[in-house]
Amino acid sequence: MIKVEKLSKYYGDVKAVKSIDFTVNDGEILGFLGANGAGKTTTLKVITGYLMPTSGNVYVNDMNILEHSHEIQKQIGYLAELNPLYNEMIVYDFLEFIAKIRRIEGAAYKKALVRVIDQCGLSGVVHRQIGACSKGYKQRIGLATAMIHDPAILLLDEPVTGLDPNQIVEIRELIKELGKEKLVMISSHILQEIQATVDRIVIIHKGEIVADGTSQELMSGFVGNTQLTLEAHKVNDESLQTFAATHPAINVVKTEDLKNDHRILHLEYAKEKDPRTEIFKFAVDSGWVITEMSPHQIELENIFRSLTKEGGSNA
Amino acid sequence: MRNILAIYTKELKTYFNAPMAYIFLVIFAVVNGYFFTNTFFLFNQSNMRALFNIIPLVYLFFIPAVTMSLIAREKNVGTIEIVHTMPIKDGEFITGKFLAAFTLILVGLGTTLLHLITLMNVGMNIDYGAVLTGYLGLAMVGAVYTSVGTFSSSITDNQVVAFIIGLFIVLVFFLMDKMLIFVPASMAGIIQYLSVDYHFSNISRGVIDSRNLIYFASVIGFFLLMTARMLEIRKWR
């Protein structure tokens, strides 16, 4: 379990993280989301013991980072954002070096090596120099480094950046698989990237936590209207006026006239009411021929954008 | 201890898997060979004084060049994050790095044994004790300069800056006892004691005095501890 308590980290005058609190439980996959420069990487660097907090503390399995950073580091596997690697080393030598420091030796080392090579799909590059590997392979080498000691906690800072769509799917599957028994924390600035993988989302903005919950919880807490696109033939002006008059709860945002009364209507209504059956009945009565009726889900993306609107880049 | 060994092995592999170490060794051997043989047959003396006088000078440029990448490069590329997020103590990290660079210097020093073989073939009444202590002194000076280089590599992420700072500090240590005429008499004793050359010349004359050994050990210790402080500071900044 990771418990972040009133954690602040300032770089000189720059307040990167301002007194944040959150916990991550064992067996949970947490998405740590924020625009670039929101404080994600700084938070992860403090949890890994790479940086010391300005104030506050981090507890990992009831040990605090100020006093037991080495004990904590033994339990954590970490993939850094920029994934720095010793480019001049051979992949095999590099993994061996990491394993030695992680105290995996002899038969255990061979087993661990086979496991990470299999999990991360590294079999083709083991004898290659790291600098000669592609970006995708380098990312997997970083992941293998984080997993070689089979840690209970995995911290992955933007793990899928720079991977192609197939690799992204593979890594997602791997993370899901790992998340069944491990605590996994993934940071990202792209919501779709992690939405499908994570159990819970924490959104950080300008060093402060602005949302914390499952994606369902975040969506239900969001106040807003549902939008619906309705495409129909034989929609004349008269019936459209009647429709607007008889359905005050539905707001006709915009109409697009195509030709011969073929129109696309953009409608909006409060999200707790679903007026689709009424619309259908009205259409039948007025002789409209509906060719498309599709409500737009409130996307988590919108919530993320509205929470992190000012400053930073909107992911 | 095992962490030191892991870092040490990795560093040595890095040195010897790249052309860097070989270029260093060849140039080091050629430069020393030139200066040694240049005067050896001229003076017609059965000792290695000429070599022992020139090597500390060659060290001045070579050792900062060998050590400049030790930590500065890790900072620049970011790989220091790998090391510092694993359970390795700063002291283990620095010791491993220092020993690896020192090993390369010793291998370099080993190339000059060729001249000893020459001496054994052509010389008479060779004072092997002085040769042995001379090499011990050279190893000590090499270790001091390596610790200085390790420190200068830790204060920046730019290897060129690390080289220049390293060169400057070792130059100060080298020149100290050559500047004695410019300092007030009351200071001269202290400055002389601080200079590397003073202690080196004691040892290379064949006298192994614990004062000299303590001096070398404490300068090495001082710079390695300063390196550890520099790494510690980063975490809190």
User: Residue A282 is part of a domain; what is its CATH number?
Assistant: 3.30.70.3100
Q: What is the mean pLDDT of chain A?
A: 86
Is A311 a domain residue?
no
Q: Which of residues 55-94 of A touch B (CB under 8 A)?
A: 70-71, 73-74, 76, 78, 80, 82, 84-89, 93
- In angstroms, rounded to a whole number, what is the distance separating the alpha carbons of residues B186 and B180? 11
Residue B102: pLDDT above 90?
Answer: yes
Q: Higher-confidence residue: A286 or A274?
A: A286
Q: Are A63 and A103 in contact (CB under 8 A)?
A: no
pLDDT (tens digit, 9 = 90+) per residue, A142-162?
Answer: 999 999 999 999 999 988 877
State the nearest Cα–Cα gap between A230 and chain B, in angstroms: 54
Residue with tokens 């609190």: A21
Distance in angstroms between the alpha carbons of the first and the last residue of chain A: 29
Q: Are A193 and A168 in contact (CB under 8 A)?
A: yes
User: If we measure between CA atoms, which residue out of A99, A131, A82 comes closest to residue B86?
Assistant: A99
Is A306 a domain residue?
no
Across A117-132, b (16+ Cβ under 10 Å) vs e yields: bebbbbeebeeebbee
Residue A59: pLDDT above 90?
Answer: yes
- Report the pLDDT value the prediction gives residue A191, as an integer from 0 to 100: 79
Which tokens go with B201? 């010349």
- Report the pLDDT value the prediction gives residue B76, as an integer from 0 to 100: 93
User: If we measure between CA atoms, which residue out of A152, A153, A128, A151 comes closest to residue A141?
Assistant: A128
Is the same domain home to A260 and A208? no
Is A128 a domain residue?
yes
Is the same domain home to A188 and A259? no
Q: Between chains, do A97 and B6 touch, taking CB under 8 Å as contact? A: yes
pLDDT (tens digit, 9 = 90+) per residue, A177-194?
Answer: 888 889 999 998 887 778
Q: What is the mean pLDDT of residues A15-20?
A: 92
Query: Which of B10, B82, B237 lies closest to A11 in CB terms?
Result: B237
Q: How many CB pairs under 8 A join A and B?
A: 66
Is A197 a domain residue?
yes
Is the same domain home to A121 and A199? yes
State the nearest Cα–Cα gap between A204 and chain B, in angstroms: 22
Residue A271: pLDDT above 80?
Answer: no
Is the same domain home to A292 and A203? no
Q: Interior CA angle at B116 toward B112 and B119, to 5°?
A: 135
Q: Are A269 and A228 in contact (CB under 8 A)?
A: yes
- Report the pLDDT value the prediction gives residue B130, as an integer from 0 to 100: 85
- Domains of chain B, by residue range, sit at 2-236
- Report the pLDDT value the prediction gives residue A222, as an integer from 0 to 100: 66
Task: Say which residues have a Cβ less than 8 Å from residue B105's Cβ, sequence separation at least 6.
Answer: B59, B62, B63, B66, B139, B142, B143, B146
Q: Between chains, do B88 and A101 touch, taking CB under 8 Å as contact? A: yes
CATH number at residue A75: 3.40.50.300
Q: Between chains, do B17 and A76 touch, taking CB under 8 Å as contact? A: no
- Report the pLDDT value the prediction gives residue A311, as an integer from 0 to 100: 46
Q: What percent of chain A has pLDDT over 70?
A: 95
Is the same domain home to A139 and A159? yes
- In angstroms, rounded to a whole number, what is the distance separating the alpha carbons of residues B82 and A80? 8
Q: Between chains, do B10 and A89 touch, taking CB under 8 Å as contact? A: yes
Is the same domain home to A200 and A245? no
Q: What is the mean pLDDT of residues A196-205?
A: 88
Range of the structural domain that residue A113 is part of: 2-216
Q: How many CA atoms lie within 13 A of A215 on its CB side?
A: 20
pLDDT (tens digit, 9 = 90+) per residue, B17-59?
Answer: 888 889 999 999 999 989 888 887 777 777 788 888 889 999 9
- In angstroms, rounded to a whole number, what is the distance separating the alpha carbons of residues A27 and A184? 7
Is the same domain home to A89 and A195? yes
Nearest chain B alpha carbon to A78: B85
Q: Which chain A residues contact residue B100 at CB under 8 A?
A: none
- Report the pLDDT value the prediction gives residue A315, as an integer from 0 to 100: 36
Alpha helices in B44-181 (DSSP H): 49-67, 69-77, 80-84, 90-111, 113-122, 128-154, 159-175
Selected residue of A11, A45, A50 to mutate for chain B interface (largest B Cβ count, 10 A): A50
Residue A29: pLDDT above 50?
Answer: yes
Q: Which chain B residues contact residue A82 at CB under 8 A?
A: 78
Q: Between chains, do A101 and B3 touch, taking CB under 8 Å as contact? A: yes
A169 and chain B: CB distance < 8 Å anywhere? no
Is the same domain home to A104 and A241? no
Q: Which chain A residues contact residue B19 at CB under 8 A?
A: none
Is the same domain home to A288 and A239? yes
State the nearest Cα–Cα gap between B225 and chain A, in angstroms: 20
Q: Give the burial class of A201: count Cβ atoms within 10 A of its Cβ; 0-12 exposed, 13-18 middle, 19 or more buried.
A: buried
Q: Between chains, do B85 and A89 touch, taking CB under 8 Å as contact? A: no
Q: What percent of chain B has pLDDT over 90?
A: 59
Full-model pTM? 0.85
Is the same domain home to A73 and A146? yes
pLDDT (tens digit, 9 = 90+) per residue, A208-241?
Answer: 998 888 877 877 766 667 788 889 988 888 888 8
Q: What is the mean pLDDT of residues A68-77?
A: 92
Is A49 a domain residue?
yes
Is A283 a domain residue?
yes
Q: Higher-confidence residue: A220 or A139?
A: A139
Can you say whether the dihedral through the CA atoms of A298, A300, A303, A308 is positive or negative?
Answer: negative
- Report the pLDDT value the prediction gives residue B144, as an integer from 0 to 100: 96
Q: Which residues pair with A31 in a beta bridge?
A: A186, A201
Q: Is A266 helix (H, G, I), strand (E, B) or coil?
A: strand
- Report the pLDDT value the prediction gives residue A313, as an integer from 0 to 100: 39
Is A13 a domain residue?
yes
In this structure, the dihedral spanned by the alpha carbons of residues B149, B153, B156 and B159, taken in order and rounded to 10 degrees, is 100
**What's A129's DSSP letter?**
B
Selected residue of B9, B14, B80, B82 to mutate for chain A interface (largest A Cβ count, 10 A): B82
Q: Are B148 and B171 in contact (CB under 8 A)?
A: no
Q: Which chain B residues contact residue A97 at CB under 8 A?
A: 6, 9-10
Of A97-101, A235-239, A304-308, B94-98, minimum mean pLDDT range = A304-308
Q: Which of residues 141-160 of A touch B (CB under 8 A)?
A: 145
Q: Are B32 and B58 in contact (CB under 8 A)?
A: yes
- In angstroms, rounded to a whole number, what is the distance separating the alpha carbons of residues B84 and B69? 17
Q: Higher-confidence residue: B209 or A195?
A: B209
- Report the pLDDT value the prediction gives residue A196, as an integer from 0 to 100: 80
Q: Between chains, do A101 and B79 touch, taking CB under 8 Å as contact? A: no
Is the same domain home to A240 and A277? yes
Is the same domain home to A72 and A44? yes
pLDDT (tens digit, 9 = 90+) per residue, B146-167?
Answer: 999 999 999 999 999 999 999 9
Order the strands of the A251-257 sheet from edge to edge: A251-257, A263-270, A225-233, A289-296
Q: Between chains, do B77 and A88 touch, taking CB under 8 Å as contact? A: no
Of A276-285, A303-312, B21-30, B194-203, minimum mean pLDDT range = A303-312
- Report the pLDDT value the prediction gives residue A97, as an integer from 0 to 100: 94
Is A312 a domain residue?
no
Q: Higher-confidence residue: A201 or B39?
A: A201
- Report the pLDDT value the prediction gives residue A297, as an integer from 0 to 100: 65
Which of the listed residues A195, A216, A237 is the one where a domain comes to its end? A216
Alpha helices in chain A (DSSP H): 40-47, 69-75, 91-101, 106-120, 135-147, 165-179, 191-195, 215-220, 237-246, 276-286, 300-307
- In angstroms, rounded to a whole number, what is the distance separating the alpha carbons of residues A17 and A8? 5
Q: What is the mean pLDDT of residues A302-306?
A: 74
Q: What is the mean pLDDT of chain B?
A: 90
Q: Are A66 and A57 in contact (CB under 8 A)?
A: yes
Q: How many domains does chain A have?
A: 2
- In angstroms, rounded to a whole number, what is the distance separating the alpha carbons of residues B128 and B130? 5
Task: Say which residues have a Cβ less than 8 Å from residue B17's Cβ, sequence separation at least 6.
Answer: A88, A89
